[in-house]
Amino acid sequence: MPVRKGLLPPELRELFADDGVRRELTVELPPGVTVWPDPTFERGRPHRRPAFWLSDDPVSGELWSQLRAEHPASGLWPLLMEESVQPWSVGQIAPDDAERIDLFHAQAFMDEVWADWVELASHDQIGNLEPFGPVSPGLAEPGVPVAHPDVVADWYARELARNGTPLGLVAADRGADALAVMGWQGAVNHNEWAVPLAAVVRSWEERFGARVVGVGFNTLDLSVAAPPTTALHAVHVAAEHWTFCPDTIVQGPGTLEDYAELIKGRNAWSFWWD
């Protein structure tokens, strides 16, 4: 049965620690189910509530936008989710508390990844990190918005929805937090714990007007309202992307400077881990 408009139905209230008190949703949802973590996947770690709600079928970008607009009232962050039997429907997820994200900082994450990689890298490999070399440059300066982040997010949702993706709803204060709350483990072979990655995405939300629009088994799609527009700024942002998702650069253009040309002025950042 479709979810009715008005107060949150029981299956959505289950997503909240406070049972969704005073939460409202006026958008009519398609049929769907709540997804519980498989206790055997996390060595029997108990969970008191489901991780997220998942629609049975693909949805439109327009529905994503309507739900994004209702997020302040509903507390539910919408995600366009790559259609796959795993990990969503079988509960191969590792939900965490959003409060733990406060313990991590984007700069510290970047510096640590950079230092760890340089310690094992060859001279030629370090050359791919020019113009920075073996020392982390730290976080880039904020970008200048070209449009409101919500407008850019709605545009990107329409683009992604053309691929035919189901809808996920996560009880989270912001898109970055949704990654940890739902237990996303997409950064395979890099850092599958979503909490520190969510801290980085929080920083991008604040500095570049980024919004989490889509997730997949090993992918992440963000809209970007304030992208870098100069070569110097873009290569600094590229350095952040490299520590967040090395595969995007290493298995793509190969160097920070070449990758910077791909993201300069772009209103969408897509990451994939191999």
Distance (Å, whole) CA 200 – CA 202: 5
Distance (Å, whole) CA 141 – CA 207: 7
The DSSP element (H or E) to which 24 belongs, if any, is strand 24-25
Please state, rounded to an integer, the average pLDDT across all residues of the chain: 91
> Closest by alpha carbon to 50, among 85, 5, 20, 80?
20
Centroid of chain to Cα 205: 10
Looking up tokens 């570049």 gives 208
Centroid of chain to Cα 99: 17
Q: What is the mean pLDDT of residues 77-92?
A: 79
Whether 78 and 168 have beta carbons less than 8 Å apart is answered as yes
Over residues 7-61, the pLDDT tens digits come to 898 999 999 999 999 999 999 999 999 999 887 766 556 678 899 999 999 999 9
Cβ neighbour number for residue 9 with a 10 Å cutoff: 17
Distance (Å, whole) CA 205 – CA 199: 10
In terms of pLDDT, which residue wins out, 122 or 158? 158
pLDDT above 60: residue 211:
yes
Distance (Å, whole) CA 261 – CA 254: 12
**pLDDT for the residue numbered 192:** 80
pLDDT above 90: residue 63:
yes
**pLDDT for the residue numbered 1:** 42
3-state secondary structure of 22: coil
pLDDT above 50: residue 4:
no
Tell me the CB-side half-sphere exposure of residue 228, using CA atoms within 13 A.
23
Q: What is the mean pLDDT of residues 214-221?
A: 94
Go through 171-197 and write b for each residue having 16 or more CB atoms within 10 A of its CB, e for each that does not. bbebbbbbbbbbbbbbbeebbeebbbb
pLDDT above 70: residue 232:
yes
Distance (Å, whole) CA 6 – CA 262: 43
pTM of the model: 0.93
Over residues 144-186, the pLDDT tens digits come to 999 999 999 999 999 999 999 999 999 999 999 999 999 998 8
**pLDDT for the residue numbered 138:** 96
**pLDDT for the residue numbered 126:** 81
What's the order of all strands across the beta sheet hosting 52-58? 32-35, 52-58, 166-171, 76-81, 210-215, 219-224, 268-272
pLDDT above 70: residue 104:
yes
The percent of residues in the chain predicted with pLDDT above 90, rounded, is 73
